Structure 1
Amino acid sequence: MITAMVIMLMMSAAAFGQQTQGTQSVDEMVVTATRSEERAIDVPVTTQVIDREKIEMSGALDIGDLIGKYITGHFHKYNGLLSPVGLRGFRTESHGDDVKGYVLLLVDGHRVGTGNAAKINMDRIERIEVTKGPASALYGSAAMGGVINLITKKGDGDLFVSVGGDAGSFDYYKGQLSTGGEVNDRLRFHLTGSYEDTDDYDDPEFGTVYNTGVTRKNVGGNLVFTVNENHELRLGGNYADLTSESPDWDGDAYTRYREDASQHNEKDHAYADLEYNGDYFGNAVHWRGLAYYLRDKNHWYWGDPVAESDQTKYIDETLGTDHQFEWHMNSWNRLLVGFNLEWLEKESEGVSDGQPSTPYTPGMEYDTQALFAQDSLDLWDNRINVIAAVRYDRFDVTTVRPKTGDLPDFNEKNEVYDHVSPKVGIGVKVIDEFLRLRANVGEGFKSPSADQLSADYVHSNGTHYLGNPDLDPETSLTYDVGVDLFHEFFTLQVGYFHTDYEDKIVQVTDEVDGDAVSTYENHGDSVMAGFDVNFQWWIDRMFDWTVGVSVYSNAAFNTTKDDKDTGEDLQYISDYEVKSGVSVSYAGFSTQLSHVLVGPQMITNYDTYEDEEKGSFDFWDLTLRYRFLDHWEVRGSVLNLFDDQVEWVRGYLMAERNYRVGLTYTF
């Protein structure tokens, strides 16, 4: 069906060609794929954008739910504010330091400092840009599957103050206060704070899922000062205080949840950043500089019946700076060079049976330095766009003694290694800017962690954890090709990707002289391939309607996901995903009906430790909004409209049909 659509549209392209100039879809600006603002059609790497309208109409409560609703990849949602997100078979690491992940989460261009998308509040996000495929040539380690860049509100527009509240099923409520706007020609800002709480929810099969309450407190904002037309400073940041509970099954059989379960967790996430943008030499050179601080805390209480009797706590802190210089050498050649420096420290501690104990993971230190360069060529009257990028990363990592635990033989070992990541892409426009052909090839990598390289200690459980200094980084080589159609009435993007994934790091345990020794090895290669399809149709434009009507559909079909050693399917990669919706708007009224379909995937059943296929599932959401009298907004959502069984992860059934309503006054 897709092939037939492409052929038909190409045959009719001549008739459409003259209409495509200057349309919104062609002129949309993106920044993530090349680290500089460019028209999407001039960048060979496809960028999927979730704009503010889609964010507001999503009904989602955090970035994890939002990505799961709109972006095809692998969303892995647990109870208790734990949501790694994935792209093309790779996903973020959500239990601790995000440098262990395979998809990189950014905020305003720098690491956000966590791989847990459930921690990230949406109130400050203006738009989200998602690039799929390896991005290590510009962003380094942990960008094998792609990059998700959260771009925050900067306070453009008139001054305002907004007060709002929401209430809904399962005793949900939220209060929010926001303010911002342009104070004068030089100063603008955006600030927001919110308090949000929900109680235990019900699922469609087992009834009340006890111990699933969540409390979120968020505050953050941006302050932007324009020195003059060539220089600008921005100070931003966010703090999130998060508390959630963890459900437990009553007995061995999955029949009902324990009402007296006591496990819970306390998490927080914070960042602060200072950004400078300046133009020099008659706007020929642009300097963008960033300094940032990141903090991520994960504190789990596991004890039963006294939760505090068993605890594990990790705190990651990062200081970083990132600088890039873009030189417009002439009208068709732009050179971007830059560097990145980061210092990350991870502290760990534990409690067992009420006494200080050795946590599962020791402390770690990462000192990283990187240099990167990219050349962008716009040739033949901007009909051919070429990018070539390369990055050098150097890592100095140390395993650090945890704050608790009796470890007399702990050896704080240090290892140093480096890696080079290249990438090249080309886009060719034909028939004016209606049709674009593109191709990319690039390498992604994920660095070994400090404990994988340099651990050397005997845990209180008797196991000797021993790092392997000879580990190689995990790497991927991906090529993708695609065809994109841009028209006033629609956009269609169809791409094929093929990834060879090598040197996966796995943990292995052997017995040496009667003692258990756990270490790490590069073991196993795999291949992943498939199709990405993104479609947007502005029906109202086509028929010149006064009522706004549009349809979107984002789909992924994973045709190959093979472990080369075993020949078996890779786990936690769905055969297909389709995420679609229709939006209608008129005057102050707008509504969106959305549908998510996730296909079957191979998983491990952790009751039997056997591999099995997890079946497909789908669900519908309906959201409505009405703005009236210039100041008021009323909104409502019906989530899981048809009361489907939604199970992103086996054993963690999500909520039944539920409702929310809200009211906001802006002055």
Structure 2
Amino acid sequence: MKRTFLTAFALLSFMNFASQADDKPVVDSTSVRHLNLNEVQINASRVNAKVKNLPQKVDVITPRMIKTSPATDVAGLLKRSSSIDILQYPGVDAGIGIRGFSADTQSKYALILIDGKPAGTENLASIDLSNVERVEILKGPFSAQYGSDAMGGVVNIVSKSRTGKLGGSASLAYGSFQNSKVNLNVGGSLSELLDFDLGYTFHKQNKDYKVGNHNLYNEAYAKTILDATTYGARMENSQFEKHNVNARLGIKFAEDWKLNLNSSFYQALNVETPGNFWHTYGMDSKDIKRYTGGFDVLGKAGIHSLRLSSFLSKENTETIDLGNDGSGNLEKIYKNYGFQLNDAFQIDEHTFAFGIDNRTDKYESLNYTKEGTAEAPYKPDYNNRKTGVFGQIQFKLLDGKLDASIGGRGDFIKFDLEADKFLGNASSSETYEIFTKNLGLKYELCEHISIHSSWGDAFLAPDAFQVAGFYTVASGTTTRGNANLKAEKSKTFDIGESYKDFQNGINIDFTYFQTRHTNKIIKELRDPDGIKKSGDEFYTYINADKANMSGIELLASYDFGALSDYDYSLRLYLNYTHLIDATLKYESNGKPAEGSMRYVRDNTASFGLEFDNLKGFTTCLNGRYIGHRYEDNYMYLADYSNWPNVSKKPIVFNGKEVRPELIDEALLRHPISYVFDYSASYTFKEKYTVGITVSNLLDENYTEKDGYNMPGRLVNAEFIYKF
């Protein structure tokens, strides 16, 4: 620990001294002035609005924040640079939750976009950072703009799009757990009519990582949940290899008109998935392959800014059983395709946007026995076809002091279920229609100070097998879809106040939000006759549970560089979310009941101090606060043969019982964790950069899902050559 700190600070001091000795600045001080987030145009707003004109709560992760982060994928960046919930497993698998909606590795309550289009994956850990320019996080309901899945918010990943002089970089990094990474990228203009971007990234971890060995806060309590034997131990079966290729070609084919052709290929090979630390469900390996492609036509016709976009992706995930749990291989295929047509135009100071979206999500799965014979999958193949028509209007009133927005969207959804000979279901379909709306106001009380408020409803459409299914899996369990199943719905209200004075380095926003979540879909065992008869029972899906969420969000930063007209930047920052209420309401034995929501943290925060001397040296100390969360306790072996009198006994790992004192605890309250990262880099002669990053600086032992301990301290050194 001491050697890590001494090395880091010695490197910091040397780099800063060296940069002061360099008379020629690598970055002109005016670059900091252009980082005024108020002036950033939010692509995901659909009205081409700047942050300062949006009533909704928006966070922006800037290029400088990406540069100083040790993260290598979007999931790692979000959990270090925002205050949203992350659920991450070892083995390239992560999802998010926003404003109290449960974090989900399939990201069902938060919509993931790349350049305003569906990302082609529900796994944030599989989106590499090498081609990311910035990330926009829109908090609150956005179904009126984007339809289903945007109940908690939208994460829009903005890709790099370079024009002008040709240039690029090559980098090499190496660090703990035999972690190596290579990145090559080039881009710019080939002529007045053509520009492009091309990049390749290779990332491999050749050694199983070590779990953290300490807890900064209340270690005694943390050990009762995390288990003392996990501290400093190896997470067996946690290696991986990843490749990512991205390409873009821009063609200017008329004045004010441009065509962008884009594609990418992602491949993760031999990704070892340990399961939980004790390998209760065995260990596996998986391969992920994803191809995405599409085009964007952007142009102007009079006052109209037009955009026509197409997208197509196919993601194939094959899970390979390593032979220790008796199951076979599993293959999942996710296809996503469609188009967007958007027209935004301005009359006086008012902006109008209208458009149509068409999207198809298609899911396929294959199961195999351990002998390699095909068997019944867990659910039939299905697809959801969604078509939405939206309108969004942004008004400027009262001499520009009042920004008002109003919008609505109608969605038509068709659920298609395919026949499957193993499951015994026939092809079937159902349809669904829904209308959502939003309203927002932002008023400038005086210079730098404004109040903002927004309201909106949102929905999550069910999947086709939940609506139209009728099938029996290999175990004999039958599931029947519910044609009367409704979409999950939410209504969210927020109100806040902000003080933003970039000239004096101040940025503060305080927001209160409240959400009512209804029609939550659950799976329930039913008896068609109302009388228990062996073999007659079946599972179906119903709208039963409700949830209330409320909380506060605080975004605050101060840049000491403002004291010297930004000759340097020294920014102290905090992004914090506190849940006041996260209550689930349900029925238990026919009576109303309520309890704490699972997998939702009561507090989340990112905070830190970053320094840029604008002469080549940057450094950042970032902290992440992970609050308490509740999870169902499943870490025991159970004998259900005498149901409902279930007998339990502890899991045995390496000859020792795992958490024997917790086997009768139905609910676990997970401990608080603090995870710190440090980075420093120095650029000299405008072309060469050397840097160091330390992830999990204090070697914290923590989990984001019970039993799935995350990596401990990881040190990486990097060299970058720019050309």
Same fold (TM over 0.5): yes
Matched, 1:337 2:393: no
Residues 397-448 of structure 1, C-alpha deviation per residue, up to 9 Å, x if partnerless? 111135xx633x312121011111110001101213x011111000010001
CA shift in 2, pair 1:444/1:248, >3 Å: closer
Matched, 1:599 2:621: no
Kindly report which structure 2 residues correspond to 1:198-213, keeping only aligned pairs within 5 A, or say none. Answer: 198=205, 199-203=207-211, 204=213, 205-213=231-239
Match of 2:597 in 1: 570
Match of 1:486 in 2: 500
Q: Does the aligned pair in 1 maintain the 2:688–2:721 contact within 8 Å? A: yes
One-letter amino acid of the structure 1 residue matched with residue 382 of structure 2: M
Question: Residue 58 of structure 1 is aligned with which of 69, 72, 96?
Answer: 69
Match of 2:450 in 1: 436
One-letter amino acid of the structure 2 residue matched with residue 486 of structure 1: K
Residues 209-239 of structure 1, C-alpha deviation per residue, up to 9 Å, x if partnerless? 1100011010002222223432111111211
Match of 1:153 in 2: 160
Matched, 1:236 2:262: yes
CA shift in 2, pair 1:357/1:227, >3 Å: same
Which stretches in structure 1 are left out of the alignment for 5+ residues? 1-21
Match of 1:12 in 2: none
Matched, 1:524 2:540: no
Shift of 1:92: 6.3
Question: Residue 438 of structure 2 is aligned with which of 418, 423, 441?
Answer: 423
Match of 1:381 in 2: 399
Q: Does the aligned pair in 1 maintain the 2:88–2:105 contact within 8 Å? A: no
Matched, 1:288 2:313: no
- State how far apart, in whole Å, the 2-side matches of 1:659 and 1:474 are: 44
Q: Which moved more, 1:199-208 or 1:106-115?
A: 199-208
CA shift in 2, pair 1:606/1:157, >3 Å: farther
Match of 1:187 in 2: 194
Match of 1:314 in 2: 332
Shift of 1:161: 3.4
- State how far apart, in whole Å, the 2-side matches of 1:575 and 1:27 are: 29
Residues 434-470 of structure 1, C-alpha deviation per residue, up to 9 Å, x if partnerless? 0111110000100011011011112121011110010
Q: Does the aligned pair in 1 maintain the 2:282–2:325 contact within 8 Å? A: no
Question: Residue 459 of structure 2 is aligned with which of 437, 441, 445?
Answer: 445
Matched, 1:87 2:115: no
One-letter amino acid of the structure 2 residue matched with residue 492 of structure 1: I
Runs of 4+ in 1 over 4 A off after TM superposition: none
- State how far apart, in whole Å, the 2-side matches of 1:368 and 1:57 are: 39
- State how far apart, in whole Å, the 2-side matches of 1:629 and 1:26 are: 29
CA shift in 2, pair 1:651/1:92, >3 Å: closer
Residues 598-626 of structure 1, C-alpha deviation per residue, up to 9 Å, x if partnerless? 11111112225821211111111001111
- State how far apart, in whole Å, the 1-side matches of 2:85 and 2:554 are: 16
- State how far apart, in whole Å, the 1-side matches of 2:495 and 2:258 are: 38
Residues 19-48 of structure 1, C-alpha deviation per residue, up to 9 Å, x if partnerless? xxx985364223245213222111111210
Match of 1:299 in 2: 318
TM-score after normalising by structure 2: 0.84
Residues 153-192 of structure 1, C-alpha deviation per residue, up to 9 Å, x if partnerless? 0113421132211100001101121111122333221111
TM-score after normalising by structure 1: 0.91
- State how far apart, in whole Å, the 2-side matches of 1:616 and 1:32 are: 35
Question: Is the partner of 1:64 in helix, strand or coil?
Answer: helix
Matched, 1:68 2:79: yes
Match of 2:674 in 1: 618
Q: Does the aligned pair in 1 maintain the 2:140–2:492 contact within 8 Å? A: yes
One-letter amino acid of the structure 2 residue matched with residue 179 of structure 1: V
Which stretches in structure 2 are left out of the alignment for 5+ residues? 1-32, 214-230, 587-592, 636-662
**Aligned sequence identity (%):** 23
Residues 497-530 of structure 1, C-alpha deviation per residue, up to 9 Å, x if partnerless? 0000000000112355422411100011111000
Question: Is the partner of 2:340 in helix, strand or coil?
Answer: strand
Question: Residue 512 of structure 2 is aligned with which of 487, 493, 496?
Answer: 496
Kindly report which structure 2 residues correspond to 1:73-222, keeping only aligned pairs within 5 A, or say none. Answer: 73-90=84-101, 93-94=104-105, 101-198=108-205, 199-203=207-211, 204=213, 205-222=231-248
Question: Is the partner of 2:163 in helix, strand or coil?
Answer: coil
Relative contact order, higher structure (CA 8 A, sep 6+): 2
Residues 182-209 of structure 1, C-alpha deviation per residue, up to 9 Å, x if partnerless? 2233322111101110021011205111
Q: Does the aligned pair in 1 maintain the 2:328–2:367 contact within 8 Å? A: yes
- State how far apart, in whole Å, the 1-side matches of 2:415 and 2:364 are: 14
- State how far apart, in whole Å, the 2-side matches of 1:544 and 1:369 are: 50
Question: Residue 483 of structure 2 is aligned with which of 462, 469, 486?
Answer: 469
Kindly report which structure 2 residues correspond to 1:345-424, keeping only aligned pairs within 5 A, or say none. Answer: 345-354=362-371, 355-402=373-420, 406-407=422-423, 409-424=424-439
Matched, 1:25 2:36: yes
One-letter amino acid of the structure 2 residue matched with residue 555 of structure 1: Y
Q: Does the aligned pair in 2 maintain the 1:338–1:372 contact within 8 Å? A: yes
Match of 1:651 in 2: 707
Q: Does the aligned pair in 1 maintain the 2:47–2:394 contact within 8 Å? A: no
- State how far apart, in whole Å, the 2-side matches of 1:652 and 1:93 are: 15
- State how far apart, in whole Å, the 1-side matches of 2:617 and 2:518 are: 51
- State how far apart, in whole Å, the 2-side matches of 1:215 and 1:602 are: 33
- State how far apart, in whole Å, the 2-side matches of 1:361 and 1:263 are: 21
Shift of 1:652: 1.2
Matched, 1:225 2:251: yes
One-letter amino acid of the structure 2 residue matched with residue 131 of structure 1: L
Q: Does the aligned pair in 2 maintain the 1:562–1:569 contact within 8 Å? A: yes
Shift of 1:339: 0.3
- State how far apart, in whole Å, the 1-side matches of 2:275 and 2:301 are: 60
- State how far apart, in whole Å, the 2-side matches of 1:651 and 1:262 are: 14
One-letter amino acid of the structure 1 residue matched with residue 87 of structure 2: H
CA shift in 2, pair 1:466/1:206, >3 Å: farther
- State how far apart, in whole Å, the 2-side matches of 1:368 and 1:92 are: 24
- State how far apart, in whole Å, the 1-side matches of 2:633 and 2:388 are: 40
- State how far apart, in whole Å, the 2-side matches of 1:73 and 1:32 are: 20
Question: Is the partner of 2:83 in helix, strand or coil?
Answer: coil
Shift of 1:483: 0.5
One-letter amino acid of the structure 2 residue matched with residue 268 of structure 1: K
Q: Does the aligned pair in 1 maintain the 2:402–2:443 contact within 8 Å? A: yes
Shift of 1:544: 4.4
- State how far apart, in whole Å, the 2-side matches of 1:261 and 1:455 are: 30
CA shift in 2, pair 1:202/1:336, >3 Å: same
CA shift in 2, pair 1:276/1:111, >3 Å: same
Q: Does the aligned pair in 1 maintain the 2:47–2:352 contact within 8 Å? A: no
One-letter amino acid of the structure 1 residue matched with residue 519 of structure 2: D
- State how far apart, in whole Å, the 2-side matches of 1:51 and 1:233 are: 26
Q: Does the aligned pair in 2 maintain the 1:93–1:116 contact within 8 Å? A: no
One-letter amino acid of the structure 2 residue matched with residue 588 of structure 1: G
CA shift in 2, pair 1:423/1:171, >3 Å: same
Question: Residue 296 of structure 2 is aligned with which of 259, 275, 278?
Answer: 275
- State how far apart, in whole Å, the 2-side matches of 1:296 and 1:570 are: 31
